[in-house]
Amino acid sequence: MAAVVNGSFASPIANADYTPFGSADGGLLSKVYNSISGLSVTITLLLILVAYDQFKYVWNKGSIVGPSWKIPFIGPFLQSVNPKMDEYKAKWASGDLSCVSVFHKFVVMASSRDMARKVFNSPTFVKPCVVDVAVKLLRPTNWVFLDGKAHVDYRKGLNGLFTRQALEAYLPGQEEVYDRYFARALEISEQGDKEKGVPFMPFFRELMCAVSCRTFVGHYMSDNAVKKIADDYWMITAALELVNFPIILPFTKTWYGKKAADMVLEEFSKCAAKSKARMAVGGDITCIMDAWVKSMIDSAKYNEKIAKGIAVEPEEKPATLVRDFSDFEISQTVFTFLFASQDATSSACTWLFQIMADRSEILDRVRAENLAARNGDKDVRFSMDLLENLPYTRAVVKELLRYRPPVIMVPYVVKKPFPITDSYTAPKGSMIIPSCWPALHDPEVYPNPDSYDPERWISGDAESKSKNWLVFGTGPHYCLGQTYAQLNLIGMIGKASLCVDWSHKPTEKSEDIEVFATLFPQDHCPLVFTERP
């Protein structure tokens, strides 16, 4: 029988009667391929990522306290955007170590005194990171992000800026600011509502920014520039939430914060250039920037003599030899001083005025002590001898810093796996946050810790509880300006007690705490200032 031949030139695939392997009707591969859609691929990948995100969180969490599962990807981000003091307290009370995970960041909270101190004193395992966006605002090259020997060496060059002699040189500029701003407080109250008062927290933020700028850069910066920085610094604070979106997006809080930080750095760079020119011709030291530039000039002269083989007497050698720093390097460093002081001192200042208005017996005692220290002349100017001999005023300030600590936590990043306890190791790259509030409100150390009681620093034993005094941190990154900060507050509230009277107009939110980088009264402290007779 003859074979059947396809008499056309068409290929077999073109023949309707021919069914090839893998066709839509019978091919296995074709069926699988056609069953896959972009949506199903997307959903599958999303489920894999969610599963991985959950697995990584549970793995990092280990044995410590924390939510049993994580909201996919973002975690408690919305909660971190609007933090509540009650939520922080609940977190601290939940365990010595607890955790959350927000976006890509795993966060460990070290709540107890001993856990907090261990973090502060473990530079081998951790280093300060503030918050993620801080590196972008302060710049990665900033000295606060240095580690190990580099950090130690840098600090040595800054220690001389906060000696007793140096601090005394800054006092005239500080008192000048207080004179001007206390006069303004009277004007604001005169024009404001006498019954309800004026919320003075924004004013106190500007006041403390002006004091800081005069202390750090003297009169190299105009009053208008100080006002601009005080106004815009609010945006820097707003950008420094504990956990932020990983990148800076235009027209967000971090974007505005970055623009404000750029402006501050530019202003401080201009001041550095002016200071160098003035100190080169023998100008007097009036601010921190002058003192630092002077140490650079003295170090350069000494090194030049040594290089030329000129004999130099031992007493001619500067206490610390420092290299020359560029205007921008100086600017970055001074910015960190403002960064460390602005919100913290604004908080302390606000609470001091509110608390003393509500406790007239404390204000009366501060006023009497300051007048006696000036031999009855309220116009006597600041001096270190004066400020160091106000024991009750000092107790008032120290109790405020304990009762309403301006810094409640200090974020660190884990450089390598950190065995913080025998049973838990914080993973590399995580954020670990030693908390200060619990140690400062420990009832076994400070009886009735939620009561404001300056007397505990006079007749009590609070002064001896140094392990719990974490207001300025501890370890290699403790606050350089802690003596300056306390003397500044002592001088401010003492001078205010002699120059003005003030009354607090309390509301239902006066004792409720707003967390905005630090702690403020939720009603922003409505006050009325009046002139003393």
- Name the residue among 125, 102, 358, 360 with its Cα closest to residue 242: 102
Strand, coil or helix: what is 362? helix
d(CA 160, CA 169): 12
Q: Dihedrals φ, ψ of 359, to 5°? A: -130, 80
Per the rule left: phi > 0, alpha: psi between -120 and 50, beta: everything else, 375 is: left
Look-up of token digits 């002058």: 290
The answer to the question of whether 99 is labelled as a binding residue is no
Q: Dihedrals φ, ψ of 126, to 5°? A: -135, 160
d(CA 491, CA 21): 92
d(CA 338, CA 301): 30
Cα angle vertex 276, ends 213, 315, to 5°? 105
DSSP for 429-476, written as a single string: T-EEEEBSHHHHT-TTTSSSTTS--GGGGTTSSGGG-GGG--TT--GG
For 82-97, letters b (16+ CB in 10 Å) and e give: ebeeeebeebbeeebb
Structure-token pair, residue 397: 């300030």
Whether 414 and 427 have beta carbons less than 8 Å apart is answered as yes
Strand, coil or helix: what is 80? helix
Residues flagged as binding site: 479
Please give the annotated binding residues for heme, written as ranges: 479
